[in-house]
Amino acid sequence: MWKLIYKTPSRSFSTSCVKRAIFDARSPLKVLQPLQAYAPTFYTRGENITPLYEPCQFYAQLKSNILQAKERVFIAALYIGQSEQDLVDTIRTALERTPTLQVHVLIDCLRGTRASKGQSSATLLLPLIEDFPNQMKVSMYHTPDLTGLLKKTLPARFNESIGLMHLKVYGFDNKVMLSGANLSTDYFTNRQDRYILFDKQPELSSYYHNLLKLISNCSYQLTSGKETYNLTMRKEMADPVKESKRYKRQVHAYLQEFIRTQPSLKCEEEHDTAVLPVIQMGPFGIRQDEKFTLELLTIAHAQRNWTIDLTSGYFNFTDKYKSFILKTRAKFQFLTASPEANGFFNSKGVSRFLPPAYTYIERKFYRQVKKIGRSHDISIEEYKRPGWTYHAKGLWVKFNDDLPYLTMIGSPNFGQRSSERDLEAQAVVMTENKALRNALHKEVDMLHKYSELVSNETFAKLDRQVPNGVKIATAFVKTML
């Protein structure tokens, strides 16, 4: 009989409970307890966790929480849009109102310094550093995989395919909001993503705050320059461009220590929800998120009547994920962007070929599902909403076609880039709370509301034909998609 086998992790995150734990023998979540060996566990109540459903809600919540913060605001995002003066003004107002407030922003160096109409994330944030030098800090991560001749020759936009800081974490005192959304106008208006707010979570907030500080300490610091700005590295850190190998060794050691030293927490009887944060940082050999996800699929294979809803704006599973999915005894419902809902649709230059590249990958998977006779329990839907693009990612797990008991929320796309090139973070929420489970059901249901089932007819359409050149190129650049 075929079995899914995954190596047990060497690091065990121990937890202890007072009275009844949500993973005890009476709990439907008992089957998920082995996952606690892969990540620290933070206990809470379901009413402290709130999924948001629309981009405008995300933006309103973001600004409100910044203005309400008293001690700290910490933001990790790929970039801040060059035209987001309203968001910068909100941060300025918060700094002016509360002189004790500390604001720390971590963005990607390549994306954050790319200018459009003379403005970039760096130049947008620089006045805050100049006006609030004791309260404001901006760090810019640079991948150690873009060095030497490659860095000199690859133009802007193309160089970002080598690797990025892709975390999407928004923290405010003891609150944390996790998302896949960046900070630009489309993500606040008509680019659908996912967003979950964790309230009254001091330990979880500190976890993400410490993670952000770690990555920031290994990044360039944005400072004022004579003409525009300077990027400086801490003296004890190797430079990611000039000393790539030594830099990788340093960061790997820091991340290993961060994972190793996460505290063992106690849970109490009133807790009905567990949050397990996981990270994936391929350039430094950190694969916590991947190990956790594969273990979840291993558990799913041993169960009956499980349904896993899995979504990503970019359909490009790693070979490992694809192999596990195709062999896992569970019903899968995939949701991805239609070509029209892909953010690169009708874009200029080479990037206009990205939607057909994803179509090609999706079609190959669809045909593989048919070939092995799994079409009855593995389906693909495409998000198609006029005037909107799609960027949501994550999964939901249901037992016996019930409400979701588990969701994964954060930045990874389950693809080659997320696994190998970028820095990613997400959290796993397991809950018995009926109201939260209903809210998670509403979340996935609303996403499927704008979707269409993929069939043979989908790929037979004239506008879904993939040029041969794209097929050939896709094989070479798959790890960059």
CA distance 324 to 333: 15
Which residue has 């389906």 as its token pair?
A: 379
> Could you confirm whether 173 is annotated as catalytic?
yes
Strand-strand pairing, 394-399 and 404-410: antiparallel
DSSP 33: G
Q: How many CB atoms lie within 10 A of CB 159?
A: 19
What length is written for the chain?
Answer: 481
- In contact, 13 and 278? CB cutoff 8 Å: no
Catalytic residue among 166, 175, 209, 331: 166
CA distance 140 to 15: 35
C-alpha distances out from residue 180 to 58, 106, 135, 424, Å: 11, 15, 27, 10
128: Cβ contacts below 8 Å, ≥ 6 apart: 88, 91, 92, 95, 103, 136, 138
Q: At what angle do helices 319-327 and 288-301 cross, to 10 degrees?
A: 10
DSSP 285: T
> Could you confirm whether 200 is annotated as catalytic?
no
> Could you confirm whether 348 is annotated as catalytic?
no
How buried is 264 (Cβ within 10 angstroms: 0-12 exposed, 13-18 middle, 19+ buried)? Answer: exposed
CA distance 426 to 442: 20
DSSP 131-156: H-TTTEEEEEE--TTS-HHHHHHSPT
For 279, the enclosing helix (H) or strand (E) is: strand 273-281
DSSP 303-361: SSSEEEEEEESS--B-HHHHHHHHHSSSEEEEEEE-GGGSTTTT-SGGGGGHHHHHHHH
Q: How many CB atoms lie within 10 A of CB 378?
A: 21
Catalytic residue among 173, 289, 309, 422: 173
475: Cβ contacts below 8 Å, ≥ 6 apart: none
Strand-strand pairing, 136-141 and 331-337: unpaired
Catalytic residue among 63, 168, 175, 291: 168
- Beta partners for residue 44, in sequence order: 273
CA distance 226 to 229: 7
Q: Catalytic amino acids?
A: 166, 168, 173
